[in-house]
Chains A and B, each alone.
Chain A
Amino acid sequence: MKTFKIGGVHPQDKKLTAQKPIITLAAPKEAIFPLEQHIGAPAKPIVNVGDRVKTGQMIAEAGGFVSAPVHSSVTGTVSKIAEYTDPQGFSKQAIYIKAEENDEWADGIIISDKLETKTSLDAKEIIKKISDAGIVGLGGACFPTHVKLTPPADCKIDSLIINAVECEPYLTHNHRLMLEKAGEVIIGTRLLMKALGIEKAYIGIESNKMDAVNHLRETAEKLSDFVHIIEIVPLKMKYPQGSEKHLIEAITGREVKSGAIPASVGVVVQNVGTAFAVYEAVQFNKPLIDLFMTVTGSSMTEGGNFRVRMGTSMKEVLDMVGGIPADAEKVIGGGPMMGRCISNIDTPITKRSSAILCLEKQKTVREDVLDCIRCGKCMGTCPMGLEPYLLAKLTEIEDWSELEEHYIMDCIECGCCTFTCPSHRPLLDYVRYGKFKVGTIIRNRK
């Protein structure tokens, strides 16, 4: 089975909610739409306080090319444009909308469960629709999708990879999506291929989801148009299989050079959730107003997979599953390896959300830190082939130029080093800070 060559770890494979079908949650009573839900320039509001907006209507336009518009997920009145507190506790700008009882969909949006396989649009029109729908990469980075679909002129794209690896423990929403919306995913993939003007795509899935592999294979065969070839590739279970660069290497054998983008080796990678969103946007004009997420935790009995409207309060979502379990020590947005701790749950679901994970104390406890015993395990597991112990030490002594020479900017912050360290050293904490510092220095140089 295919996988990447260097490093990687095997976190305990915990998928508590893999058998739970996706439940669509009701629209919230008050929705909050942050203007910064993506990488790039923040969106600019185009509505005023007191305006009535329909579901799916654009309420903030893209603030530049690398940016994405924001759409309302409810029908209601704009109550204020003010600050909100993000999951980490920082204050940022958002549009608040007081929702009405029933949805009134914006013009042009088709509400249908029927699988629409045909499209007459060309690449430009598809990309325009994706851009208008405010679609961003739903794998966590939130990079605007239309930017990825317009690669630099000197890059010749020949394949598309759909990232359906879901290599983080606990997360299951992509798995459920593939089982329940296989047709939509396949058509979405084909639309992305059309947008890129290519005829070859791969869907990479970790081998603990063989049911999804088989189901997608059958669906792809059934829906095949004999031009666009979609290959489903089962991948070995190894973290961080879902990292963009490692996924490309595992499937195509091409290595993205240090500092380069995937397009430089002729590949574009999109998340499986994005493929679904693209399907809805292109076929039904439906903007990105909801997303799939896993809500889980060892002692959460009612956890599961949900389709949640943007702007719903995280607290509301958690209440739906019986609230945060009493023994929860940490509430994490995302998976246990790369997710960010949430210190404030009175915050809306955004395009950045992917999962809410409640971990109890014994699972997340950080043991006492001992001296480095130079076992080299962090180097053995680093999928980028870096020297985490050294990077951490150099960050501690603030030797930024030496850090740059040791390729700190290549770090993908996967956390394998901290995960492995027998001395329980917080290697990634330091490396992440060092990377931030060196990144700032490099940017200032330009």
Chain B
Amino acid sequence: MSNYTVAPAPHVHGGDSVKKNMLNVIIALMPAYLAGCWYFGIGALIVSCVAMVSCVAFEWFISKFILKKQPQINDLSALLTGLLLGMNLPSSLPWWMVIVGSLVAIGIGKMSFGGLGNNLFNPALVGRVFLLISFPAAMTTWPIPDQLSLFGSVDALTAATPLAYIKQGIFTTFTEADMILGNIGGSLGETSSIALILGLIYLLATRTITWHIPISIIGTVLIFTGIMHGIDPCTYASPLLHITSGGLLLGSIFMATDYVTSPMTKVGQLIFGAGIGIITVVIRLFGSYPEGISFAILIMNAVVPLINRYIRPKRFGAK
């Protein structure tokens, strides 16, 4: 007899890992990220890099010195949080606000619950919403897309986002091509619809996520705004405008699908997505904020434990 290893079955693993999934999401974010950097120039680059570096640094410090456990920055989840947070901010945001946002995202949104896997809310959104409430002026000052700024000083010109125009009942400011390509005002990662959809296709192809959450959110928004638009086209914008504007695509593809804070069953995910869609539209059409996807996702995050409790998978041989 010699020293062989003994372990319970199964003896092989499928090779999936947390790191792989995180990396896939980061890769899927790249088209939208690069588009944001193209449109918003050096400012976008600074904001996003500050967010990523500070998120990773905060995760390392908090786990090392406060939680006293081996830091898990290798799993790339902190980097992803930083990237998502950065992409949710206007490119003109001062760097120190970005760092405050990162601290809240990692410190309060994630590590206070015990780290990856234990958080109730999407950390990047916690950071973003904290900034939005604390610094409303800075967070709603959107620079005009101007790729030339890459070579010059950061552009001081600002403009309202399409959603702000929608709120005021002006629907024709931007052309459809601009909306799809992302040549509009907004946070640096949310503007280019086509790049975001490229990311969705990549995520679906690599089976990192399933279609349930993004499609149910987008579908609900389509139906809801479609009905409202049908009732009164002058007051309510068209569904397509709603979907291509604001953070809806970024939110539904990358934020709502976060494993930790979304339901586990397919049916649960559909309910979760529908809830986000409805809340988003309600905030957009009837609330005081022009955009509501962040709040909608956070509200539905809170409902996830309840959904997980009551929506069970279909059992084999259930009576």
Q: Do chains A and B touch in the complex (CB under 8 A)?
A: yes
What is A's interface to B at a CB cutoff of 8 Å? 6, 9, 11-12, 169, 245-246, 249, 255-258, 260, 328-332, 334, 336-346, 359, 363-364, 366-367, 370-377, 379-380, 382-387, 389, 407, 410, 413, 415, 418-424, 426, 428-429, 432
Contact B259 A341 (CB under 8 A): no
> C-beta contact mask, B1-37 vs A, less than 8 Å → 1, else 0?
1001111111111101110110000000000000000
Residues in A with CB closer than 8 Å to B115 are 371
**A337-B11, A373-B18, A376-B265 known, 17 other contacts, Cβ within 8 Å:** A329-B5, A338-B9, A341-B5, A364-B12, A370-B72, A370-B116, A373-B116, A374-B259, A374-B260, A384-B315, A385-B313, A385-B316, A387-B312, A387-B313, A413-B9, A422-B20, A423-B18
Residues in B with CB closer than 8 Å to A413 are 9
Contact A6 B317 (CB under 8 A): no
Contact A386 B315 (CB under 8 A): yes
Contact B117 A255 (CB under 8 A): no
Q: A11-B12, A339-B11, A341-B11 are in contact. Are A382 and B317 (CB under 8 A)?
A: no
Contact A383 B316 (CB under 8 A): yes
> C-beta contact mask, B106-135 vs A, less than 8 Å → 1, else 0?
000000001111100000000000000000
Contact B259 A373 (CB under 8 A): yes
Q: Tell me if B68 is interfacial: C-beta within 8 Å of chain A.
A: no
In chain A, what residue has the closest Cβ to B308?
Answer: A374
The 8 Å CB contact of A384, one of B6, B265, B312, B316, is B316
Contact A346 B313 (CB under 8 A): no
Task: Please measure, in the bound complex, the distance between the C-alpha atom of A363 and the C-alpha atom of B12, giving whole angstroms.
Answer: 6
CB distance from A271 to the nearest CB of B (A): 19
Contact B315 A385 (CB under 8 A): yes
Task: Please measure, in the bound complex, the distance between the C-alpha atom of A407 and the C-alpha atom of B6, giving whole angstroms.
Answer: 28
CB distance from A40 to the nearest CB of B (A): 23
Contact A428 B10 (CB under 8 A): yes
In chain A, what residue has the closest Cβ to B269?
Answer: A376
Contact A373 B12 (CB under 8 A): no
Residues in A with CB closer than 8 Å to B308 are 374
A sample of 7 inter-chain contacts (CB < 8 A) reads A6-B314, A340-B9, A341-B8, A343-B4, A373-B18, A410-B315, A424-B17
CB distance from A296 to the nearest CB of B (A): 13
Residues in B with CB closer than 8 Å to A6 are 313-314, 316
Task: Please measure, in the bound complex, the distance between the C-alpha atom of A340 and the C-alpha atom of B72, giving whole angstroms.
Answer: 33
Task: Please measure, in the bound complex, the distance between the C-alpha atom of A359 and the C-alpha atom of B20, giving whole angstroms.
Answer: 24
Contact A366 B7 (CB under 8 A): yes
Contacting residues of chain B (203-245) with chain A, CB-CB under 8 angstroms: none
Task: Please measure, in the bound complex, the distance between the C-alpha atom of A423 and the C-alpha atom of B266, giving whole angstroms.
Answer: 20
Determine which residue in A367, A419, A429 has the highest number of CB atoms from chain B within 10 A of its CB, and name it. A419
Contact B7 A330 (CB under 8 A): yes
CB distance from B110 to the nearest CB of A (A): 11
In chain B, what residue has the closest Cβ to A339?
Answer: B9
Closest 9 A/B residue pairs (Cβ): A376-B264, A415-B10, A371-B117, A375-B259, A385-B315, A341-B6, A422-B16, A373-B117, A336-B12
Residues in B with CB closer than 8 Å to A377 are 16
What is B's interface to A at a CB cutoff of 8 Å? 1, 4-14, 16-18, 20-21, 72, 75, 114-118, 259-261, 263-266, 308, 312-319
In chain B, what residue has the closest Cβ to A430?
Answer: B8
Task: Please measure, in the bound complex, the distance between the C-alpha atom of A371 and the C-alpha atom of B114, giving whole angstroms.
Answer: 10
Q: A169-B12, A364-B5 are in contact. Are A256 and B17 (CB under 8 A)?
A: no
CB distance from A389 to the nearest CB of B (A): 8
In chain B, what residue has the closest Cβ to A341?
Answer: B6
Residues in A with CB closer than 8 Å to B7 are 330, 341, 364, 366
CB distance from A330 to the nearest CB of B (A): 5
Contact A420 B72 (CB under 8 A): no
Contact B4 A329 (CB under 8 A): yes
Residues in B with CB closer than 8 Å to A419 are 10, 12-14
Residues in B with CB closer than 8 Å to A370 are 18, 72, 75, 116-117
Residues in B with CB closer than 8 Å to A424 are 13, 17
Residues in A with CB closer than 8 Å to B317 are 245, 255-258, 260, 384, 410
Residues in A with CB closer than 8 Å to B315 are 258, 384-386, 407, 410
The 8 Å CB contact of A418, one of B6, B10, B20, is B10
Residues in A with CB closer than 8 Å to B16 are 377, 420-422
CB distance from B296 to the nearest CB of A (A): 20
Q: A346-B1, A364-B12, A374-B259 are in contact. Are A258 and B6 (CB under 8 A)?
A: no
In chain B, what residue has the closest Cβ to A358?
Answer: B4
Residues in A with CB closer than 8 Å to B314 are 6, 385
Task: Please measure, in the bound complex, the distance between the C-alpha atom of A101 and the C-alpha atom of B9, giving whole angstroms.
Answer: 40
CB distance from B113 to the nearest CB of A (A): 10
Task: Please measure, in the bound complex, the distance between the C-alpha atom of A389 and the C-alpha atom of B259, giving whole angstroms.
Answer: 14
Residues in A with CB closer than 8 Å to B261 are 374
In chain A, what residue has the closest Cβ to B309?
Answer: A390
Task: Please measure, in the bound complex, the distance between the C-alpha atom of A342 and the C-alpha atom of B13, giving whole angstroms.
Answer: 19
Residues in B with CB closer than 8 Å to A363 are 11-12
CB distance from B95 to the nearest CB of A (A): 30
In chain B, what residue has the closest Cβ to A378?
Answer: B264
Residues in B with CB closer than 8 Å to A340 are 9
Contact A428 B8 (CB under 8 A): yes
In chain B, what residue has the closest Cβ to A346?
Answer: B1
Task: Please measure, in the bound complex, the distance between the C-alpha atom of A419 and the C-alpha atom of B260, giving whole angstroms.
Answer: 19
Q: A420-B16, A423-B18 are in contact. Are A415 and B264 (CB under 8 A)?
A: no
Residues in B with CB closer than 8 Å to A359 are 11-12
Residues in A with CB closer than 8 Å to B4 are 328-331, 341-343
Residues in B with CB closer than 8 Å to A338 are 9-10
Q: A371-B118, A374-B259 are in contact. Are A245 and B316 (CB under 8 A)?
A: yes
Residues in B with CB closer than 8 Å to A328 are 4
Residues in A with CB closer than 8 Å to B5 are 329-330, 341, 364
In chain A, what residue has the closest Cβ to B4?
Answer: A331
Residues in A with CB closer than 8 Å to B318 are 258, 385
Contact A422 B21 (CB under 8 A): yes
Task: Please measure, in the bound complex, the distance between the C-alpha atom of A336 and the C-alpha atom of B72, giving whole angstroms.
Answer: 30
Contact A428 B11 (CB under 8 A): no
Task: Please measure, in the bound complex, the distance between the C-alpha atom of A363 and the C-alpha atom of B11, giving whole angstroms.
Answer: 8
Contact B12 A382 (CB under 8 A): no
